[in-house]
Structure 1
């Protein structure tokens, strides 16, 4: 059986706030790459709930966080459609994303 690994490295300040976030995956370059934010969701089948890790660096600009949320929501719509085949509700989610983008004044 083949195994793959994703590793996150988080450097914290004295207040335990992320200053730097680096990640690498065995199926990418294999070298650490920097990022400003991570949202990780894991489905716990036993407890029937989602476990989450949401991290962002102190210097992540608010406009980039808004864009990150927009992109994440759009990606979730794509994933949901592939996983369930539910096209109607997926279109509703994409409509909401367009509304979100407009409200946040994100450029397309």
Structure 2
């Protein structure tokens, strides 16, 4: 814990409802800042940095009802959000733009975005 005095504590809860094979069927979440009602989600990607171990803990959950198309959209949006967060935290705009370029590549290859020609072999679309 930091030595700064804590003035407010927030809580975020995820309930994972699983089938007999421990495959997620439903994800329900709520936040102490939210409406107080449980919300439903099809997937959750949670990453926590452990400074002592110098590594990331990851928890990736998705329900068996989630389609590949939905997963593609989620991954595209997640990569774009990571690029924005990285740029905000580090001011490394070149690296953030490279991440955005990859997100656009991913978006085109998964047909989330229309073809721009930017990633074709000849560069002409």
Instruction: Give the TM-score, by structure 1 length.
Output: 0.97
Task: Report the counterpart of residue 117 of structure 2 in structure 1.
Answer: none
Report how many residues are paired: 108
- Taking the aligned partners of 1:50 and 1:96, their CA distance within structure 2 comes to 22
- Taking the aligned partners of 2:37 and 2:100, their CA distance within structure 1 comes to 34
Asked whether 1:82 is paired with 2:88, we answer yes
Asked whether 1:67 is paired with 2:69, we answer no
Structure 1 stretches lacking a partner, 5+ long? none
The structure showing larger relative contact order (alpha-carbon pairs under 8 Å, at least 6 residues apart) is: 1
For 1:1-108, list aligned pairs within 5 A: 1-107=7-113
- C-alpha RMSD over aligned residues: 0.9
Structure 2 stretches lacking a partner, 5+ long? 1-6, 115-125
Structure having the higher strand fraction is: 1
Max radius of gyration: which structure?
Answer: 2
- Taking the aligned partners of 1:107 and 1:23, their CA distance within structure 2 comes to 30
Question: How many Å apart are 1:7 and its aligned residue?
Answer: 0.2
Structure having the higher helix fraction is: 1
